[in-house]
Structure 1
Amino acid sequence: MVRNPPSLKLRQQNGNSIPRRENKKEVQKKTEKQQSIKVNNEVNYLAYPAGDTALKALLSARFCAAIWSHVTDCDETYNYWEPTHYLIFGKGLQTWEYSPEYALRSYTYLMVYAAPAYLYQILLGPNPLLLFYLIRCVLGLLSALVELYFYKAVCREFGVNIGRMCLAFQLFSAGMFISSTALLPSSFAMYGLAGACAAWWTQKYALAIFVTALGSLLGWPFAALLGVPIAYDMIIMKKMYKDFIQWSVISAVAILLPMVLIDSSYYGKLVIAPWNIVKYNVFGGAGPDLYGTEPFSYYLLNGFLNFNFIWVLGLLCPVFLVLQYFFVPTKNKITLSLPHYVSIAPMFLWLAVFMFQAHKEERFLFPIYPMICLCGAISIDVIQKLVYRVLCIFFRAPSGTHYLDWTVFVMVGAVMVTSLMGVSRIFSLYNNYHAPLDLLIELQKYPAEGKIISNANVNVCLGKEWHRYPSSFFLPDKNWKLRFIQSEFKGILPAPYSEFENGTTLIHSHFNDKNLEEKSQYFDISKCHFLLDLDLGKETPLEPNYSVQDRWKVVKSLPFLNAEKSNSFLRAFYIPFITNKYVQYGNYNLLQTVRHRIKT
């Protein structure tokens, strides 16, 4: 923990020296001195985590997420984990987005994680499951480093009181737990926004532009929207036209050129993946609405689940800032470099666009998750100032004291409540939804214990549970293959990559961009050796209860949430001794056939 020394006193320099132009180093030192004065004037002996302490806390939280978080989105599995598995092992599932006919996804993004995993595989030949968790730990490390940079910049720009609350929200919120180690471009865009904002607030404009471009081009093209406030600051407020254009061009060339070369080599034709996905979603493509639409309230509810009251306070941040302007007058600058309305603009600009899109998904808000933590912290800081104002008026708090001396209970209470709710939500997610990963880990025992010989061809089948499959990294060997059997789902499913060397360049007839069912991809259930299925006590002709059929035996069964028969609040947040009374579970079963032996 760091404690600030007593307030510094500015010394006036006497003399009749001729004014001269300050160089960059002098300007930087002067800025740092001003910030030191700002921090020290904020409150004497204010305790807050130092950089090394914050990094240790962030690494601990992110590595916990890497191990215990389940794969929350089937798009993460089939559009990112499966192609990554293909890049490493030459085997995996391909979606229509990776067909050269459409080429919506970038292999360059996958190479960031596949390259080190591939080297590890070549050198040590580990179990594929270890590579899955290695990649997740790499994601967690990257997230922790960027979040540390973000935390330091928040302390510098907004003050250490807001900084330490923001850090606490990042550590314990379920939203950051889910997004930080997800293999998704939206998570990469989140890293980009956090890094870009940190560079922006510390006036490292070249770095801010480059990181914004990295998160947008290599990650998710729509994240370029988050860079609009940075552009506004540079072009409108500071008239830095030349710097903005220069670094925008440099960043675009430095990132896009390698991407185009790598992606074009994989697809076998000229491909600019960021443009293709924008064109599909915005300019005349079939559009994302084919994959489901949600009401306006979807993000409001989802935001509360992932951030509880931090989300509410974050949304109300502009209101609290207006109240601060009218009721907490101050002669000192509240922020160091930028006015609040510019600094927090990325979050509200993003919400203004995505809240009104018909197609909504949880991962679409990932890029602004750090900003939600920041805006929530700003709101609490304003509440503290308002409480202190009331105390001064009605209870005559001693003059000359700082507002933090009298309102620390507000901060502590807010952090404790939101942190407990965040941990409660994280525990609930693990308890309710982790069964598919645990059951597939059970498959590792078969070759390890000699129950199945190493070169056996094994078919692991999925029906209605296709969307909860974590990835082929959970299959013990290359000879184990995932198969889809027919269920009530009528959309398009992934298909195995071609096993030829040029598999990524081949165009297959079984892909379409209209989400139309392709029945040729269904596998004969009589040839399945293992089946992953959820028993919730209801059946249909295409989705029977396989666990009671004579042809299957239950290898292992774990509880899985039965959402329809559970209390809405208590299934979302775990409360000891109470939740289990109002939440019901079904049986998630790993089944093995008893009809035929596994052939080599």
Structure 2
Amino acid sequence: MAPNPADMGIIYPTGDIAFKVLLSARFCAAIWSHITDCDETFNYWEPTHYLLFGKGFQTWEYSPDYALRSYMYLLIHVIPAWAYHKLLQPNRLLIFYFTRCLLGLLCAACEVYFYKSVCREFGVQIGRVTLAFMVFGAGMFISSTAFLPSTFSMYMCLVSMGAWFHRKYELAVFTTALSAFLSWPFAALLGVPIAIDMVFYRKEVFKFVQWSCISTAIVLIPMVKMDSSYFGRLVVAPYNIIHYNIFSHGPDLYGTESWTFYFINGFLNFNFAFIGALLMPFLLILVWGLVPSKPRHAGCLPYVLSLLPLYLWMAVFFFQPHKEERFLFPAYPLVCLCGAVAVDCVQKLCYRFALPRPRQRSGSAPRHYLHSTAPLLAVAVAVCAALGVARALALYNGYHAPLDVFMELNSLNAEYNMASKKTINVCMGKEWHRFPSSFFLPGDNWQLQFLQSEFRGQLPKPFSSQHNGTAIIPSHMNNLNKEEPSRYFDVNQCHFLVDLDLGVETEREPNYSQQKNQWTIHKSIPFLNAAKSHQFFRAFYVPYFSNLYCTYASYNLLISSKLKFLNVENSGTKR
């Protein structure tokens, strides 16, 4: 529907090149991105570890009393991980990264489909800028390989929007339903403009109803059957999560944020592309009113409709008291698209009003605005890309320590041959929420234990070891985030302790690293002390200056002096 780019001399990546670039970026995320949300660990990685190895932590959402989460969603990740485990017998750490790389592969494939559809619907100019924002956006780096329903909904958003722009309405409806039922019911909001197009613009009411019913039957019936089998009773997980979030005050128990939260988060993750996405409707109005242009192809969707999904998402989630970064994941590709449209609008306005108009030779074709504003485009993409990479580097440098510390346990296990039946307790207090998952524990005889801290909410507990553990109602479990003292472990029984040394302590959070007679620091890795670091240089990594203006604490792996089978004195402190 867009003009042939070859006729205008526009250079843009082909689908093959776009896939290679995107896949490289996603594999980087799979390897270097840290786990940004403890919900990812305890609600998804831990139940997956349990399904694979019969051991893992359970949150109240998986109690049969509440049944908010779906085992069907877990199984689509478990099956390839199980096949990899059975075929190659890798250690569990490799299964973690194998799963992440598969997520990166799936994300890249969905992004390419979306990119090609944007080129078709909006033209290759907007398509190539969208691609650049997706490749270099820190938000895509964070979300692309996260094991979260909101990430799966982002994949389905890429496919459903791509199918819609290709006028493949059946696929658009099915992937919207798949996203809503299998991962996150609220993701159906992104499909509202598709429904409006089918019902009110195209008058295809029967097709919409037909495919809605087909999609519901294909997805929901096996999902209910599978989940009911695991929970031991009839369960419709999408209904349960809607009921909990809308008809109770449950979500607010986990904290509320200021109205500025998503604006700050959006700028950190997409910098000026996010600002462009916010301003895009106003820029588009200015272009319509001030810049003469040829009418769009009659087959194109109206801008008001095709760009509506992002603003519907913002209108709903920006005004919710309970805010989390992952709630915006499904709409991240749309931020890239709307940011690219904003860049195109600025180019047209600058060409019309700010740049000198070159003289046209008699009989020659008028110069295209893209040629005259190419430097502006290059600067916009370069600045956004540089800030995106700087943000990703800042996240890695500041917060990768927990993964590295738990990797060290695997090295210790191999070095000292701890693969025995004796239980080895790895303890965490205030750092419980940074536990990367049981995939980082070397074996079944290694057990994570929780110590008291200033956190007064409910901690997860291990799944039952019985064969039908998913159907057993766990004791001492509530849906009010009330503290459960039964979760706490005796620190004197800990063999290893993982703790962040910020130089402060309370009664419930002693500074274990300074208890030299009880603990030896085996490994210490720098971890960003955000409270004592410059706001800009902690958010975006700038060589030399970030090290100068940021303060780092020590993220320590401590070994108990009572651990007789390790030569602690000779192990030394590794950095």
Say whether the fold is shared (TM-score over 0.5): yes
AA in 2 matched with 1:80: Y
Q: In structure 2, what is the equivalent of residue 390 of structure 1?
A: 353
Query: Which residue does 1:155 correspond to in 2?
Result: 119
Q: Does 1:574 align with 2:537?
A: no
Distance 1:334 1:552, change over 3 A: farther
Q: What is the CA distance between 1:121 and its match in structure 2?
A: 1.5
Ranges in structure 2 where 5+ consecutive residues have no aligned partner: 567-575
1:211 Cα deviation (Å)? 0.5
Candidates 516, 524, 527, aligned match of 2:493: 527
Q: State the secondary structure of the residue aligned to 2:523.
A: strand
- AA paired with 1:346? P
Do the aligned partners of residues 45 and 463 (structure 1) sit closer, same or farther apart at CA in structure 2, a change above 3 Å counting? same
CA offsets per residue over residues 141-173 of structure 1, 9 Å max, x none?
110000000000000000001000000000001
Q: Does 1:302 align with 2:265?
A: yes
Question: Shift of residue 40 of structure 1?
Answer: 2.0
Which of 348, 356, 359 aligns to 2:319? It is 356
The answer for the alignment partner of 2:571 in structure 1 is none
2: CA distance, partners of 1:41 / 1:358:
45
Residues in 2 aligned to 1:404 and 1:596: alpha-carbon distance in whole angstroms: 68
Superposed displacement of residue 452, structure 1: 2.2
CA shift, 1:391, in A, is 5.3
Residue 46, structure 1, aligned to residue 10, structure 2: yes
The reply on whether 1:204 has 2:168 as its aligned counterpart is yes
Letter in 1 for 2:227: D
The CA distance in 2 between the partners of 1:467 and 1:305, in whole Å, is: 22
Mapped partners of 1:551, 1:278: distance in 2: 48
Instruction: Report the CA distance shift for 1:583/1:420 in structure 2 as closer, same or farther (over 3 A).
Output: same
Give the secondary structure class of the aligned counterpart of 2:167.
coil
Give the conservation status (yes or no) of the 8 Å contact 1:43–1:402.
Answer: no
Residues 310/41 of structure 1: CA separation in 2 closer, same or farther (3 Å cut): closer
For 2:564 and 2:253, the matched residues in 1 are separated by 41
Q: Which amino acid aligns with 1:588?
A: Y
Once structures 1 and 2 are overlaid, which stretch shifts more, 452-461 or 409-418? 452-461
On the 8 A contact 1:43/1:404 being kept in 2, the answer is no
Taking structure 1 as reference, are residues 545 and 469 closer, same or farther at Cα in structure 2, changes over 3 Å only? same
Q: Distance in 2 between matches of 1:493 and 1:169?
A: 38
The 3-state SS of whatever aligns with 1:47 is: coil
Match of 1:236 in 2: 200
Q: Who is 2:440 aligned against?
A: 474
Which of 278, 283, 300 is the equivalent residue of 1:315?
278
Q: What per-residue deviation string (whole Å, max 9, x for no partner) do you get for residues 171-197 of structure 1?
A: 001000000000000001111111100
Q: Which moved more, 1:449-458 or 1:469-478?
A: 449-458
C-alpha distance in 1 between matches for 2:88 and 2:214: 39
User: Which residue of the partner structure matches residue 268 of structure 1?
Assistant: 232
1:589 is aligned to 556
Answer yes or no: is the 8 Å Cα contact 1:158–1:334 preserved in 2.
Answer: no
Secondary structure of 1:422's aligned partner: helix
Cα offset for 1:334?
6.4
- In the alignment, structure 1 residue 331 sits paired with structure 2 residue 297: no
**Residues 157 and 335 of structure 1 are in contact (CA less than 8 Å); yes or no, is this contact kept in structure 2?**
no
Q: CA separation in 2, counterparts of 1:298 and 1:41?
A: 40
Choose from 503, 513, 516 the match for 1:547: 513
Q: Give 2:382's aligned residue.
A: 416
Cα distance, 1:597 vs structure 2: 3.1
Quick one: which amino acid aligns to residue 406 of structure 1?
S
- 3-state SS of paired residue (2:416): coil
Aligned AA (2:412)? Y
Letter in 2 for 1:61: A
- Change beyond 3 A, Cα 1:220–1:335: farther
C-alpha displacement of 1:450: 3.0
Cα distance in structure 1, aligned partners of 2:451 and 2:298: 58
| Amino acid aligned to 1:456 | K
Aligned residues: 561
Query: SS state of the match for residue 39, structure 1?
Result: coil
Residue 335 (structure 1) shift? 8.1
- Evaluate the alpha carbon distance shift between residue 44 and residue 557 of structure 1 in structure 2; reply closer, same or farther with a 3 A threshold: same
Partner of 2:38: 74
Please give the secondary structure, in 1, of the residue aligned with 2:403.
helix
Q: 1:578 to 1:43 in 2, by over 3 A?
A: farther
Q: 1:493, 1:518 within 8 Å by CA — same for their partners in 2? A: yes
SS at the partner of 2:426?
strand
Q: CA RMSD in A?
A: 1.4
Distance 1:220 1:182, change over 3 A: same
Q: Could you tell me which of 375, 398, 402 is aligned with 1:432?
A: 398
Quick one: structure 1 residues 173 and 427, their matched pair in 2 at CA, closer, same or farther if it must change by over 3 Å?
Answer: same
For the residue of structure 2 that corresponds to 1:308, the secondary structure is: helix
| Mean CA deviation greater in 446-455 or 288-297 | 446-455
455, 470, 481: which is aligned to 1:489?
A: 455
Aligned pair 1:280/2:244, yes or no?
A: yes
- 1:510 paired residue among 473, 476, 480: 476
Q: Which moved more, 1:330-339 or 1:479-488?
A: 330-339
In 1, Cα distance between equivalents of 2:297 and 2:246: 40
User: For residues 593 and 560 of structure 1, what CA distance do their matches in structure 2 show?
Assistant: 22
Q: Give the 3-state SS of the residue equivalent to 2:8 in structure 1.
A: coil
Identity, in percent, stands at: 57
State the partner residue of 1:132. 96
Aligned equivalent of 2:214 = 250
Q: Which residue identity is paired with 1:225?
A: L
Q: Deviations over 1:247-295 (max 9, x none)?
A: 0000001000110111011000000001000001112x34200000001
Residue aligning to 2:573: none
Q: Deviations over 1:197-224 (max 9, x none)?
A: 0000110000000010111111111101
Tell me the distance in 2 between the aligned counterparts of 1:598 and 1:258.
50
Counterpart residue identity of residue 552, structure 1: W
Q: TM-score, normalised by structure 1?
A: 0.92
Equivalent position amino acid for 1:369 in 2: Y
Q: SS at 2:352's partner residue?
A: helix
Alpha carbons of structure 1 residues 397 and 500: separation in structure 2 relative to 1, 3 Å: farther
Separation (CA, whole Å) in 2 of partners of 1:453 and 1:129: 15
Describe the SS at the equivalent of 1:501.
coil
The secondary structure found in structure 1 opposite 2:4 is helix
